[in-house]
Amino acid sequence: MRHYAEKLRNRGADITYIKTAELEKSLSRWIKKKGIDELNIAEPANITLKEYLGKLNIDCKIVFVDNKQFIWSIPEFNTWASSRKNLIMEDFYRTGRKNSEILLEKDGKPSGGKWNLDRENRKLPPKNGFQKKPPQHIKFSPDKITKEIIAEVERSEYPTYGKGKDFNLAVTHEDAQKALDFFIEEKLSNFGPYQDIMLTGDNVLWHSILSPYLNLGLLHPLNVIKKAELAYYQKNLPLNSIEGFIRQILGWREYMHCIYKYTGDKYLKSNWFDHERELPDIYWYPERTSMNCMASVIEEVLNTGYAHHIQRLMILSNFALLAEVNPAKVKNWFHAAFIDAYDWVMQPNVIGMGQFADGGILATKPYISSANYINKMSDYCQNCTYNHNHRTGEDACPFNYLYWAFLHKNNEKLRDIGRMKLILKNLDRINKKELKQIMTHADDFLKSLK
Ligand code: FAD
Ligand code: SF4
């Protein structure tokens, strides 16, 4: 905001920038001083913020204008949704591709013959590491304004999370563009195949870290998508990576925003599994757990405010779901910890996708896994005190007994979900004696969490 205010001032615009803890009073004074009778506000993506602004007791009319942070408008989505039995993301994404004419042949068919190339995007981490490591992500040195803000945050009386002194993100549109160009040049070609892998000490790999810039309005989603599309035509980058990346923005990001507006603010209270446990303190103090995957990811989040999608979903959120934490409490932690956090994107991602608290509006089954998946997709288990192959015994991995205990406890509920049938058949194969041990391990472990 401060850089943008400066930029507009330099262009000759009449800018008032007020730092205030009392918005209503400050705004009223400013409106009176400037003789304003109509206030145009870019529509906030968050429902509660729009309600708050709409109720401000000020002496002028408020008009919300299109905020341009999304490609789909909510009326457009409502029309699309009203003619459908279900709101599947893949259908939404294909409609978005057609509407915005992205990666389409002249006859309207998808470039390369398929809408979704995810099957080509499931590479595992190479056994002996990468010959060529992922490039270090682009960093921006803080300028005078940013340094002032870092000092202000560090002086502030509010408890803060993360390390201000290491801040190296872009804070202007121009630098955010550089970050996008860097991603396209250096990382995009490998984004697709390796987007699901996790490695100790590198929480970015081939991901873009564009979410803060998109969510703050420093980059427009359609510009990002078009630049990536151009790289397919002009630089001949692999279609599986380009399509996979474009699907994240034109598909997932747009979809999450529309679903958030569609379901309304009651969504936050969803709690399909009736989970009521507190968030364990290891989310704030990673040194208090011996689970290497959890400790590594949380430590990186502490330092940077960032983890990539699979770390968020299959480590942090997976554990919270298996540990029966109250979904709103999980969301509150994510909200405090991440650089790209906003209600509109947190609620569907954490409450819906991560915790399955909506009972299946957003996902077709809960995203849960045992250590098997984590071991396959990462190097965390190689240096862990727990054994990823054991589900009982002293060194058994908590992800294993918690996973099977979760399935056993929620068996009745989950049986109606088509995609759970095969998994529940595996649960039925566990003999009674072992199942009893699993349940005791899970119970003891949950009791031990603080
Ligand atoms: P990349 O992997 O490089 O993907 C490119 C872009 O696609 C992202 O920048 C983002 O804008 C978009 N995108 C991809 N997946 C999603 C998605 N599921 N929802 C919305 N946009 C998506 N995203 C946020 O922007 N803010 C959040 O607070 C947030 N919290 C999350 C919490 C959980 C539990 C989960 C499972 C996902 C969350 N996501 C959130 C979605 C996604 O994980 C992040 O957008 C992504 O990891 C950001 O990193 P990146 O820019 O390197 O993404
Ligand atoms: Fe995580 Fe279990 Fe693997 Fe340890 S063994 S890193 S706790 S999945």
Instruction: Look at residue 133 in the predicted model and tell me its pLDDT.
Output: 87
Q: Are residues 9 and 15 in contact, defined by beta-carbon separation less than 8 angstroms?
A: yes
Instruction: Look at residue 289 in the predicted model and tell me its pLDDT.
Output: 97
What value does the mean pLDDT take over residues 162-185? 94
* Nearest ligand atom owner, CA of 396: 2
Q: Which atom of ligand 2 is nearest to the CA of 292?
A: 6
Q: Which two three-digit tokens encode residue 69?
A: 């942070």
CA 74, 337, 319: angle at the middle one, nearest 5? 90
CA 175, 303, 44: angle at the middle one, nearest 5? 55
Nearest CA to ligand 1 atom 41: 309
| pLDDT per residue as tens digits for the range 68-96 | 899 999 999 999 999 898 889 999 999 99
Ligand 1 in reach of 58 Cβ (< 6 A): no
Instruction: Please name the residues in contact with 232: beta carbons below 8 A apart, sequence gap of 6 or more.
Output: 103, 111, 239, 242
Q: How far is 76 from 90, CA to CA, in rounded Å?
A: 17
Nearest CA to ligand 1 atom 5: 248
Tokens 């279609």 map to which residue? 239
Instruction: Look at residue 210 in the predicted model and tell me its pLDDT.
Output: 98
Ligand 1 in reach of 137 Cβ (< 6 A): no
pTM: 0.96
The larger pLDDT score, comparing residue 265 to residue 171, is at 171
Local confidence band at 203 (pLDDT 50, 70, 90 cut-offs): very high
Instruction: Look at residue 156 in the predicted model and tell me its pLDDT.
Output: 85
Nearest CA to ligand 1 atom 50: 209
Q: How close is the Cα of 352 to the center of ligand 1, in Å?
A: 14
Instruction: Look at residue 90 in the predicted model and tell me its pLDDT.
Output: 95
Given a cut of 80, whether residue 265 has pLDDT beyond it is no
Instruction: For the chain, give the percent of residues with pLDDT over 90.
Output: 90
| pLDDT per residue as tens digits for the range 211-260 | 999 999 999 999 999 999 999 999 999 999 999 999 999 999 999 999 99
Instruction: Please name the residues in contact with 193: beta carbons below 8 A apart, sequence gap of 6 or more.
Output: 120, 121, 122, 123, 240, 241
Q: How close is the Cα of 79 to the center of ligand 1, in Å?
A: 26
Ligand 1 in reach of 348 Cβ (< 6 A): no
Q: How close is the Cα of 211 to the center of ligand 1, in Å?
A: 6
Rounded mean pLDDT of the chain? Answer: 95
All domains of the chain in start order, with CATH: 2-65 (no CATH), 74-263 (1.25.40.80), 269-448 (1.10.579.10)
Given a cut of 80, whether residue 283 has pLDDT beyond it is yes
Q: How close is the Cα of 133 to the center of ligand 1, in Å?
A: 23
